[in-house]
Amino acid sequence: MYSPPPSSPSTRCDSKERMNNTNGSQLRLYQIWQGRNRFYLGGRLVFGPDIRALFLTLFLILFPVALFCAFVSRELINAFPHRFGYLIMAISLLFSVFIVVLLLLTSGTNPGIVPRNAHPQDADDECDTSSISTSCLGSQTGPVSLPPMKNVTVNGIVVKVKYCKTCMLYRPPRCSHCSICDNCIERFDHHCPWVGQCIGKRNYRYFFMFVSSTNLLSLYVFAFCWVNIKKIMDAHHCNIWSAFFKSPASGILIMYTFVVSWFLGGLTAFHLYLLITNQTTYENYRYRYERKMNPFNLGCARNFKEIFCTGVPSSRINFRAHVKVDRSLSFNTLSYLGGATTNSDMHKMKNFDEEVGRRQDVDECKETDSRIKTVGGGVDRCEK
């Protein structure tokens, strides 16, 4: 009777490793991240939850440019000598490509997400038991809770920072929790619905360049549409209304870019003011520095240098990092990483369990195949 050969030490080690992989699965961090972000290209691109707004913004930018190139620029090519009209069209196209790149950088860059704590901080480390107050105490029978705020010093000025119950940490200065993305964002400015992403420490420069460049493109189209109308009036000796009738695309674009330029021009001016004074939209809206000194204001030149003349700060989270998660503790991990367990969290938990189950099935199939091959080889040797 055939008896299988004794297993070697390496075989026993492989079996032990498979047993460990059965109890715990190794995934990438973005696959179990409990914020509402959407990840693409294996976690390299980090978008907000409302990514559909990005396509609307692209349409509002590219469709007017397409009208300009198809109708207005073609008329300008015939009106200007020495192929100057082709240069006008080329500039508008290159400007549009530049703006689309800035839009994607703004929307697909990690804005400065702060890593969450896997477990609540120890109350003994944050509360001074000699001077403990009611804000640091829970109920008489409940556990000691952390104080909702604490003081930190920034450039010699005391600044209050809040405790985030969702991320279970004291937020760094200028950090705020976005209710839409469900993340704490460093130097939180605002959540922009037009790019579908939070604007923070790592993508603010891209956002400012995107807004200001789009405003310049709008003014560019507005100006050359009027040039086209003037050329038509001179060529046909007609009034302005007849010129609009001969070139309806110019009239439509003039009205559209006029409205857009007012909106984007005001937004550019407002953010230029914030940039010079080193404020964020959130801080300005909350009047945080009214009648107080701004501890982050370094002067106009240094504020400008801080935004545009320094490298993009490195991300505090590597979403592509491998993490080993125990399936039996996945529910607790979910509640720690995401706070309250909602229907969305349960849906993510279900997808996570399915992913873990598929990986376990693959490991079991590989183990079974290896055993069959080992037994089959032994049988062949026995028959010989």
Q: Which residues are catalytic?
A: 192
CB under 8 Å to 341, separation ≥6 — which residues? Answer: 331, 334, 335
CA distance 155 to 382: 81
Cross-strand pairs, 292: none
Neighbours of 119 (CB within 10 A): 8
CA distance 301 to 303: 5
Compute, in degrees rounded to 10, the torsion defined by CA atoms 33, 35, 37, 38. Answer: 40
Amino acid symbol at 362: V
Cross-strand pairs, 45: 40
Q: Angle at which helices 84-108 and 52-67 pack, to 10 degrees?
A: 180
The CA radius of gyration of the chain, in Å to the nearest whole number, is 30
Residue showing tokens 């046909």: 236
Q: Please say whether the dihedral angle defined by the alpha carbons of residues 222, 228, 232 and 235, taken in this order, is positive or negative.
A: positive
- Phi/psi of residue 199, each to 5°? -105, 120
